[in-house]
Structure 1
């Protein structure tokens, strides 16, 4: 596999390789997002785009009832760069994330802890509910932290994609400014993602891969 990626790299422009390295240096798995049954394609796409913009590599979704879809006009190609993981239940998604060391965070207007007070020293999985009813009671009960975004108007909550963007902006900034948090990807993670991104950057990578394998 490593030989194949090195072979494919020669067909990518130097500018593209430099951009991949630049973005990888800012990518993180310290924060991740879990969406619970979001059904509007534009909202799912907007959250994925925010993940890409804020350097979040993993997006998890529960889509047992509502098939997760992306509006390509809103995603703006971010689906190529963010890893999407689908789960068929809240229980399986929480079990998966907690096994990886994440603390679960529920966003809800009905709690006392504010976003500013949330510690970022441990990996966090940020849960956001669907457009109609928000997070389920089960999701809130599974949370290690329950936070609210301060609001000063009549509306009770932000749109789900806006909520995700606000939370990711504040927490990713706080994380990056902390000198004691090792938030960057490991060398192994970078290497694997680099390979995937190089392939996605080449229009004819499948034909190029076949050519390489024939030479072996």
Structure 2
């Protein structure tokens, strides 16, 4: 079974909550005695975890950087749902999918996963050849959402979008030059929201494959939003509409 490293309070706490049996050991900063660390250590011990007291240098080496917050865990990889079909078969109600086309920055991906979790998206989809994979930085920024939101990397994004349409899921792309805005659409039904990388936007084939294009209204001087912020605007508009739907 493959193993990896998680670091930071949020990422490790979520794994403690969702799959404690997958954690092999947790390294904590022996010099840190504040309330947050004491609470974390108590929770880990209650869960029967093996705790290893380490110094900052050892934690930095394990985490591959200094932003570990004094907590680094060695974990076994969780069984993955290998296809979007598997994920969608488990969905109750209208699916909500976030599709990222060309997002290569791990901080942006982590933030997108975090907002996808918060808005109740059922999956995040990205192409294998134009995207960043899950790594420790993504998990740290995602604050646990990398453990809860399926992140599916597909070989052919356009084909996957067409498969979504065959399931009667509307594929809605975002573009600064679209005529209609996000707020003109009914997002209460099955929807896949497609966002491109900041600057480049959607690739041409991805754009052509979408059922329709929308823009986020911009009232100030800047022309576009960071992709994770745009994902939050789009997903939470879908959540707002769904929460107001009768029944």
Question: TM tier, shorter chain?
Answer: 0.5 to 0.7
1:56-205 to 2 correspondences below 5 Å: 56-70=121-135, 71-179=138-246
> Could you list the per-position Cα deviations for residues 62-90 of structure 1 after superposition, in whole angstroms to 9, with x for gaps in the alignment?
13134434522211111111112111222
More displaced stretch, 100-109 vs 66-75: 66-75
2:100 aligns with 35
2:116 aligns with 51
Shift of the alpha carbon at 1:37?
A: 1.9
Query: What do you get for the CA RMSD once the two structures are aligned?
Result: 2.3
Give the structure with the higher percent helix: 1
Shift of the alpha carbon at 1:112?
A: 1.2
> Could you list the per-position Cα deviations for residues 186-209 of structure 1 after superposition, in whole angstroms to 9, with x for gaps in the alignment?
xxxxxxxxxxxxxxxxxxxxxxxx
Shift of the alpha carbon at 1:121?
A: 4.1
Q: In 2, are the aligned partners of 1:36 and 1:130 still within 8 Å (CA)?
A: yes
More displaced stretch, 50-59 vs 82-91: 82-91
Q: In 2, are the aligned partners of 1:30 and 1:123 still within 8 Å (CA)?
A: yes
The alignment's TM-score, normalised by the length of structure 1, stands at: 0.66
Q: In 1, are the aligned partners of 2:106 and 2:132 still within 8 Å (CA)?
A: no
Shift of the alpha carbon at 1:61?
A: 1.0
Cα distance in 2 for partners of 1:69, 1:39 equals 11
Give the structure with the higher percent strand: 2
Cα distance in 2 for partners of 1:153, 1:160 equals 17
Q: In 2, are the aligned partners of 1:30 and 1:124 still within 8 Å (CA)?
A: yes
Cα distance in 2 for partners of 1:33, 1:61 equals 9
1:29–1:76: structure 2 CA closer, same or farther, 3 Å change rule?
farther
Work out which structure has the larger RCO, using CA pairs closer than 8 Å and 6 or more positions apart in sequence. 1
Structure possessing the higher radius of gyration over alpha carbons: 2
Cα distance in 2 for partners of 1:78, 1:113 equals 31
Q: In 1, are the aligned partners of 2:102 and 2:196 still within 8 Å (CA)?
A: yes
Query: Across the two proteins, how many residue pairs are aligned to each other?
Result: 157
